[in-house]
Amino acid sequence: MLKKLLRYDLKFLFRYWWIAAVASLPASVMGGFAIKLLNSEFPTTGAILVAVLMILATILTIVAVAVMPTIMIAIRFYKNLYSDEGYLTFTLPVSRANLLNSKIISSFIIEMASVLTVAINVLLMAIIAGANFSEIFQGYVFRVGDGILALAFVLLFSLLVVSSTLLMFVCISVGAVITKKHKVLAAIGIYYGVTGFVSGFSQLFVSLSSGLIVGIVLSMKEDVRTLVGSLMALPIILIIAAVVVGLYTLVHWIMDRKLNLS
């Protein structure tokens, strides 16, 4: 049943996004030529104006590719579960866990597709604009721990994507159960309240601990610095993993025990 749920969730999420994703590729080619034009010797005023407009159009397209998934994920989650559609979704012969898992997996897939598309676009622009990659990576020496650092980064990034999606699900779910008339407004208010609190708290934590961490890392020999630095990501990964488990449990509990469709 999870596969079937996924199929319908993905179909909804990719419905409009793929158009923006496909459109972004020629836009990036155009943006690359525009950058090249600006870098050329003695460009005319008209050429500069056209190039700037082309770059703006490219940036807008890439921003659309990056932002659309979040909007589509929120719409899908709210409509499919907490609007009238919920009467059908929650009476399917499917467990609440599978309903939630499908939403999380499909959200992760489109977010990753979005990251990949943005990366391809940036690379495309850089190639066309004439970026010298051998110069960028010149002198780079592979160090012990680079692989672990990359792995830690991928894991951390994936967990952050899942946790931010789950945070959105929590806000929508809480908004849907605490009010009957202004569910969306309540969800937005809760989201900004929670993210404001979390960002304030994390800024405080970073400002208090960053000096100490940087001091420790800089005092080490260069060849072990990357390895130790990547290992220090472990507690952060564990904290975010715990947050993911907590948020998942909360959404599942609301869907299972507190559901009250109007």
Name the residues that contact another protein, by CB under 8 A: 1, 4, 8, 15, 79-80, 84-88, 90-96, 256-257, 259-261
For the CB of residue 86, give the shortest distance to another protein in the complex, in Å: 8
Name the residue nearer to another protein (CB basis): 46 or 93.
93
For the CB of residue 4, give the shortest distance to another protein in the complex, in Å: 5
Name the residue nearer to another protein (CB basis): 88 or 141.
88
Distance CA 98, CA 102 (A): 6
Written as six digits, the tokens of 48 are 């500069």
Name the residue nearer to another protein (CB basis): 77 or 191.
77
Name the residue nearer to another protein (CB basis): 6 or 188.
6
Beta-strand ranges (E) seen in the chain are: none
Q: How far is CA 245 from CA 70, 162, 171, 215, in A?
A: 21, 10, 16, 32
Name the residue nearer to another protein (CB basis): 38 or 259.
259
For the CB of residue 63, give the shortest distance to another protein in the complex, in Å: 25
> What DSSP letter does each residue of 35-65 carry, written as one string?
HHHHHSSS--HHHHHHHHHHHHHHHHHHHHH
Q: How far is CA 242 from CA 148, 159, 166, 235, in A?
A: 21, 10, 12, 10
Distance CA 240, CA 238 (A): 6
For the CB of residue 194, give the shortest distance to another protein in the complex, in Å: 26
Name the residue nearer to another protein (CB basis): 5 or 187.
5
Nearest to 114 by CA among 16, 223, 1: 16
For the CB of residue 93, give the shortest distance to another protein in the complex, in Å: 4
For the CB of residue 248, give the shortest distance to another protein in the complex, in Å: 18
Distance CA 85, CA 190 (A): 23
